[in-house]
Structure 1
Amino acid sequence: MKTTIYKGIEFFLIFVLVPLSFTISYSTLIKIIIGVLGFSYIVYVLLNVEKKKIEIATNLNWKRFWKETFLKFAIIIVFTTLFVWITDTELLFNVLINKPKLWMAILIIYSILSVYPQELIYRTFFFQRYQSLIKNEKFFLILNAVAFSLGHIFFNNLLVLVLTFLGGLLFASTFKRTNSTLLVSIEHAIYGCWLFTVGMGNMLGFPS
């Protein structure tokens, strides 16, 4: 399970074939089973093959993290707010204003049940398994962002692919610097929750 050939096949199946297969119309139950089995495999490999401990580090540079995250977040706020205001003003903060309880519930569920598993897959597992195979760091970060974007191809939306690619670059850079699933999950949750809040949730599968 640690050979280059095995990892190459593993990469293709998990990060290319499975996402592409989800664009095909077939049983939702089967897709869920594939997703659960895939995630179970990833957790098994992390814990039993890579001997990776899933724990909260205590020596994190929180001050630098928050400073950099909020700087990026401020830029995201400006561009996304302008985008929604220009393209469809009625969507701007629509769920927050009209359905605050739903808004709060989705933020909590999304942050716990969606963001953290995604970061285990696309950052913790991806970096642990494939970083040693690719010596060019910039190419590796781009590859990670492409894989993250491809994981959202089932939305069938070009803007979603662009946003997730850019987000993938940000998250990969954060994980590369901090090696922390916790920090990159917090960053991911902040940006994702904001997109839902500002009115871009529909295209990303958030209920509204």
Structure 2
Amino acid sequence: MQSKTYLRAELLLLFVLIPLSFFWNYYIWLKVGLGVVGFVYVLILMKKAAIFNLKLPNRESLIPFFKEIALKLIGIAIITSFYVSYVSPDKLFDVLLQKPLLWLVILFGYSLLSVWPQEVLYRTFFFNRYEALVVNKWGLIFLNALVFSFAHLFLKNILVLALTFVGGLLFAYTYYTKRSTLLVSIEHAIYGNWLFTVGMGEILAFPA
């Protein structure tokens, strides 16, 4: 069992200092190396602690979950559609209409190669490793959303930081209440893929 001092230092290094370093320009392979080493370190800790939980949720819990997601998605869709149509009307559903094959590739690639690792790291690992450091439920959720937003600092875009903070709040709450990597990954993939579909992919570093 690690001391709280060690855990705080580890959290600071993995979720603040390393992401902060990506904000500055230096060799890309060094950045990739730092990211890979950090993620492998996390996977080793998760294996030792048997944190991996790939159990499927029971069927009864899926119906209210998807109803909740549908309601959130409607709100997100309305707000983002108005935003894109006002700021960049030429981007509205552009990739879906002009490059449907790329759209499909991005949807699957993003869900598997981006969403899943993010949720393993920022929800499954984070909550199992650091939950004891924050007594208050909402403080823990806020902290998780903050470091999740901080991970996108390298994109140097205020809107991205705001979106990922709000998304982080939603995902953190879902994981806190459901304790399911699968369900929070589904939610993350749905919202992220919608943002790409509606025309916000460029600011989120998707290929256009």
TM-score normalized by the length of structure 2: 0.97
Structure 1 unaligned segments of length 5 or more: list them: none
For 2:79, the aligned partner's letter is F
Distance in structure 1 (CA, Å) of the matches to 2:52 and 2:187? 21
Write the deviation string for residues 36-57 of structure 1: whole angstroms up to 9, x where unpaired: 1111111111111x22133223
Equivalent residue number for residue 117 of structure 2: 117
For 1:51, the aligned partner's letter is A
Write the deviation string for residues 140-194 of structure 1: whole angstroms up to 9, x where unpaired: 1000000000000111000000000000000000001100000000000000000
Give 1:133 shift: 1.5
Higher mean C-alpha displacement, 119-128 vs 55-64: 55-64
Write the deviation string for residues 66-95 of structure 1: whole angstroms up to 9, x where unpaired: 010010000000000000000010000011
Calculate percent identity across the aligned residue pairs.
48
Distance in structure 2 (CA, Å) of the matches to 1:80 and 1:55? 32
Equivalent residue number for residue 73 of structure 1: 73
For 1:77, the aligned partner's letter is A
Equivalent residue number for residue 130 of structure 2: 130
TM-score normalized by the length of structure 1: 0.97
RMSD: 1.0
Distance in structure 2 (CA, Å) of the matches to 1:55 and 1:174? 16
For 2:10, the aligned partner's letter is E
1:21-100 aligned at under 5 Å gives the runs 21-48=21-48, 50-59=49-58, 61-100=61-100
For 1:59, the aligned partner's letter is N
Q: Which runs of 4+ in 1 moved over 2 A?
A: 56-60
Distance in structure 1 (CA, Å) of the matches to 2:52 and 2:120? 12
Structure 2 residue 131 is the aligned partner of structure 1 residue 142: no
Distance in structure 2 (CA, Å) of the matches to 1:99 and 1:12? 41
Structure 2 unaligned segments of length 5 or more: list them: none
Write the deviation string for residues 70-124 of structure 1: whole angstroms up to 9, x where unpaired: 1000000000000000001000001111111011001100000000000011100
Equivalent residue number for residue 201 of structure 2: 201
Q: Secondary structure at the match of 1:199?
A: helix
For 2:68, the aligned partner's letter is E
Distance in structure 2 (CA, Å) of the matches to 1:6 and 1:82? 46
Distance in structure 1 (CA, Å) of the matches to 2:56 and 2:91? 39
